[in-house]
Amino acid sequence: MNSNAHTDVTRLLHVAASPMGERSQSRAIAETLVAAYRHTRPGATTDVLDLWRDRLPDFGAAAVEAKRAEASGGRAEGEGAGAWEAVRRTFEHFDSYDRYVFSVPMWNFGIPYVLKHFIDVVSQAGMLFSFDRDSGYTGLLKGKKAVVIYTSSIYKPGLPPAFGDDHQMPAFDGWLRWAGVTDISTIQLRSHQITEDADLLRRNAHARAQELGKKF
């Protein structure tokens, strides 16, 4: 066993939002981090939630009605009960981990729609957050840590507006903080399809992933 290995037992979930599989830059960086994490924590649990392969429950009319029934002190019934139970199971699975790695490619300057679907499913009152008329929202995901890998083929900070804008990192980091996750580290690989030093940028991103994985 590595003499520098951590002895604490933790559970890490990699939420993968790219459909590109082995060709995904964000997923490759995440896998480098997870490998380093597992090397330093041999007893840790590490799982993957692939948002393109692992079906999420629909959050349509039945689930919305069930949500309203539960919020008003009643109980969901019929189709709504099944829909709400699927939502609850999805949240409980997510909440059972104390470390998160999110691999998030930029899509149309924002996040992939499957990741927005995931957010909408797990962001439920009494599960992910609470609300008070006087004090507002309180995130309930306390004591958890997250690393978010942000990639973009063209956009990077400092380029002219014609190269895009960032509605990806502010939105997703904002959601994590709203949910109660304040220990957030980021890895960014930007403009990797048009820059001349793309290989160097990739190496630097993987090096940061290794560093974060060892101490995450």
Q: Which amino acid is at 66?
A: A
Residue carrying the six token digits 């190269």: 163
pLDDT at 3 exceeding the cut of 80: no
Residue-range domain boundaries for the chain: 11-215
**Interacting residues of 62 by C-beta distance below 8 A, sequence separation 6+:** 78, 79, 80, 82, 83
Task: Give residue 1's pLDDT band: very low, low, confident or very high (50, 70, 90).
Answer: very low
User: Would you place residue 80 in the very low, low, confident or very high pLDDT band (cuts 50, 70, 90)?
Assistant: confident
* d(C-alpha 203, C-alpha 12), whole Å: 24
Q: What pLDDT band is residue 77 in, cutting at 50, 70 and 90?
A: confident
Coil, helix or strand at residue 84 = helix
Whether residue 58 is predicted with pLDDT greater than 50 in this model: the reply is yes
Pair of tokens at residue 160: 């002219």
Task: Dump pLDDT digits (tens) for 166-190.
Answer: 999 999 999 999 999 999 999 999 9
Residue 73 confidence (pLDDT) = 82
Q: How far apart are CA 157 and CA 59, in angstroms?
A: 35
| pLDDT the model gives residue 5 | 54
Average pLDDT over residues 34-58: 96
Q: What's the mean per-residue pLDDT of the chain?
A: 93
Average pLDDT of the residues in 45-69: 93
Residue 147: which H helix or E strand, with range?
A: strand 145-152
Decide if 106 contacts 150 (C-beta within 8 A).
yes
When pLDDT is cut at 50, 70 and 90, the band that residue 2 belongs to is: very low
The model carries a pTM of: 0.92
- What mean pLDDT is predicted for residues 11-36? 97
Share of the chain above pLDDT 90, in %: 82
- Model confidence at 8, in pLDDT bands (50, 70, 90)? low
Task: Please work out, in degrees rounded to the nearest 5, the angle formed at the alpha carbon of residue 28 by the alpha carbons of 27 and 33.
Answer: 95
Cβ atoms of 156 and 120 within 8 Å: the answer is no
Are 47 and 13 within 8 A, CB to CB?
yes
Tell the CATH superfamily of the 11-215 domain.
Answer: Flavodoxin domain (3.40.50.360)
Whether residue 61 has pLDDT greater than 80: yes
Band (6; pLDDT cuts 50, 70, 90): low
